[in-house]
A and B are shown apart, each in its own frame.
Chain A
Amino acid sequence: MSATTLLVLPEARRKKFPLPSFARFLGLALVVFALVAPLVWMVLASFKTNVDIYDPSKFFSFVPTLANYATVFGQANYAAYIWNSFFVAFVATVLSLVLAVPAAYSMSRFVMGKSAMVVLLARIIPGVSLLVPWYFVFSQMRLVGSYTILIMSMMFVSLPLILYIMMSYFDSMPEELEEAAQVDGLTPIGAFLRITLPLSMPGVATAGILSFIFAWNNFMFALVLSGSSTKTLPVAIFDFVGYASIDWGGLMAAAVIVTLPIMLIALFTQKYIVSGLTAGATKG
């Protein structure tokens, strides 16, 4: 290291960020506004009467009303749709975790490249190309409209997601822990169940939360495969349109009802979601 390097480096290190901080502040403020403002607009509109929605001057100054929410819960059977969404997403997540966590462990520890390719295929294939054959077969079995088929289709979304997150999690866990446990008398599966699995709970939480969110948000599979009694929230919202004139207030209330639970979950589990969404993306 030359003398000049020694002189220059401390000065360079002090500057934490190369952009002038004002420009950076302005840029980030703009980003936050652009991302949050539409959502605020949606929430505001859900508390307005349709007359107020049609009046641009009643931007922030309006008398808030719960009438839209009353419409949504009264006319349409939203309590049932909320339950359907929750039930389908929850069961699909639990079943996917049970199937995918051991599979991810096995693929990570024993390097099963070919089977990982099948999982990748599940990720890139357009869902419609699966829906047509599924619809053929499951309507023959009189399963279309049942919870079973809805849960299975959501599991098809969740499983590859969980596999990928858990594979990268197990990849980063040292094998020595399990080996030590086996020296101490545990069977290989015992070592997995009593050492590796408890230690990988943060990864399981990440995978589970993301799986729940994706299943909750899924629209296309539910649109085709749900029946009138098993309808999930995204499909119920879509039904809200379709009529001659749109009840904007009611529609926005319905939109808030479907997004709110998922956003609350996201707020409390931020770090898990971020680590899950970026899992594997930065590796070769």
Chain B
Amino acid sequence: MSSAARRDLGTWGRYSRWVNKHRKWVFAAPAMIFIALLLIFPLVWTLYLSFTNSKGSVRAPFDFIGFENYVKVLTDTERFWPAVGRTVYFTGGALLFEVILGIAIALMLWKPFRGEKLVRVAILLPLVATPVAIGMMWRLIFEPNIGFANEMLSWLGIPAQPWLSSPDTALSTLIFVDVWQWTPMVTLIILAGLTALPEEPDEAARVDGANWWQRLWYVTLPLLAPTIIAAVILRGIDALKTFDILYATKGKGGGSFHEVETLNTYAYGLSFDYNRYGQASTVLILFFLMIIGLIWILSLRKKALNK
């Protein structure tokens, strides 16, 4: 393009040059504005609602009541603190099994072998399956009288278990379901980390006469630590927020004894089953602070490991 042609571009040309010059913002702005509108405003609104007694209907008037909700929620040992405990138990339990099994399966898949495709397909299926449908599927499998789970136990001579139907075992059973669905995710992340590892440290250890366990424990796992923490953060955030399977299997209030009610389903119930928006917002603000705190601690640890 000659300089004479560039000068004669006209209005459209000047417009196009402006867009090109500021493409950084022209490209980013629509997406950023969309996210900010749907995110920042609701966050501020939730914070505001947490200081009000908003309830009943969406249009009903409500008053500013200061820290009353916070006092009420933080001293509530009937629903709030048990929900905190169950959230921690569910997330911790699921993460523990998912990380151990995820690493084990990834190690088995590490080096290529025949029939690898089949395993990869099997690993992908739970990840893409619709959680509500999966919840329904496990409900039938864990049905005490007709389910596949107790049928299998009877083959092994183990007495039938109540699974989801008893308040004592329901949450642990749901940890099992979460492990079934999301261990593959951890496997994929760890596998990606394993393939990216340098081979030299492992070979050096091999030359020094280290056996398989020693190389795994002293070489591979420490090198893999940042990836493992990334998987824990990713999976941890989603496990904390688990909703679909809990609500689909045990319904409103997390069962008749609230046996599977976590912070997320508790806040949902307060909002949309009981219309207590003010109190729900307080629970959500506390929950959100908890998540941010955990991520902050974990990423500090990850940074230390990356150095």
Q: Which residues of A contact B (CB under 8 A)?
A: 4-5, 8-9, 12, 16-19, 24, 27-28, 31-32, 34-39, 41-42, 45, 53-56, 59, 99-100, 102-103, 105-107, 109-110, 112, 115, 118-119, 121-136, 139-140, 152, 155-156, 159-160, 163, 185, 187-189, 192, 213, 216-217, 219-220, 224, 233-234, 237-238, 240-241, 248, 251-252, 254-256, 258-259, 262-263, 265-267, 270, 273-274, 277-278, 281-282, 284
Contact = CB atoms under 8 A, between A and B. Distances in A.
Given A38-B137, A126-B267, A115 B32 contact: yes
A45 B136 CA distance: 12
8 contacts: A38-B137, A53-B146, A125-B288, A130-B43, A133-B46, A217-B129, A255-B137, A262-B128
* Chain B interface mostly: helix
B96 interface: no
B284 A263 contact: no
B46 A241 contact: no
Contacts of A103: 27-28, 30-32
Interface string B129-159: 1111110111011010110100100000000
A248 B140 contact: yes
Interface string B26-43: 111011101110111111
B281 interface: yes
A1 to B, nearest CB: 9
Nearest to B189: A281
Contacts, number: 297
B203 A129 contact: no
Contact of A41 (B110, B141, B244, B291): B141
A54 B146 contact: yes
Given A12-B203, A136-B58, A277-B127, A241 B180 contact: no
Contact of A34 (B127, B180, B215): B180
A266 B125 contact: yes
B84 interface: no
Interface string B9-53: 000000010011001111110111011101111110110010000
Contacts of B140: 41-42, 45, 53, 248, 251-252
B251 interface: yes
Contact of B268 (A8, A216, A220, A254): A220
B71 interface: no
Nearest to A21: B113
Nearest to A57: B151
A17 B130 contact: no
Given A56-B146, A284-B226, A133 B122 contact: no
* Chain A interface mostly: helix
A278 B189 contact: yes
A270 B120 CA distance: 8
Contacts of B123: 31, 35
B163 interface: no
Nearest to A12: B206
Residue among B31, B111, B119, B292 facing the most chain A CB atoms (10 A cut-off): B31
A238 B248 contact: yes
Given A19-B108, A27-B104, A112-B28, A124 B180 contact: no
A266 B137 CA distance: 19
Contact of B130 (A16, A100, A216): A216
Contacts of A156: 35, 38-39
B113 A17 contact: yes
Interface stretch (B74-82, B166-174, B229-237, B253-261): B229-237
A36 B125 contact: yes
A238 B244 CA distance: 10
B162 interface: no
Contacts of A129: 42-43, 46, 267, 281, 284-285, 287-288
Contact of A132 (B28, B46, B59): B46
Given A115-B32, A255-B136, A270-B121, A8 B241 contact: no
A281 B128 contact: no
B35 A252 contact: no
Given A102-B28, A217-B131, A266 B41 contact: no
A31 B136 contact: no
Contacts of A31: 105, 108, 119, 122-123
B20 A122 contact: no
A109 B125 CA distance: 35
Contacts of A4: 207
Contact of A282 (B24, B109, B134, B189): B189
Contact of B244 (A27, A135, A189, A220): A220
Contacts of A115: 28, 32
A99 B31 contact: yes
Contacts of A237: 130, 132-133, 136
B206 to A, nearest CB: 5
B43 A125 contact: yes
B229 to A, nearest CB: 10
A112 B28 CA distance: 9
B291 A282 contact: no
Contact of B118 (A32, A59, A125): A32
B84 to A, nearest CB: 14
Contacts of B137: 38-39, 41-42, 252, 255
A133 B41 contact: yes
7 cross-chain pairs, A with B, having the tightest CB-CB distances, nearest first: A103-B31, A133-B42, A106-B27, A255-B133, A102-B27, A133-B45, A18-B212
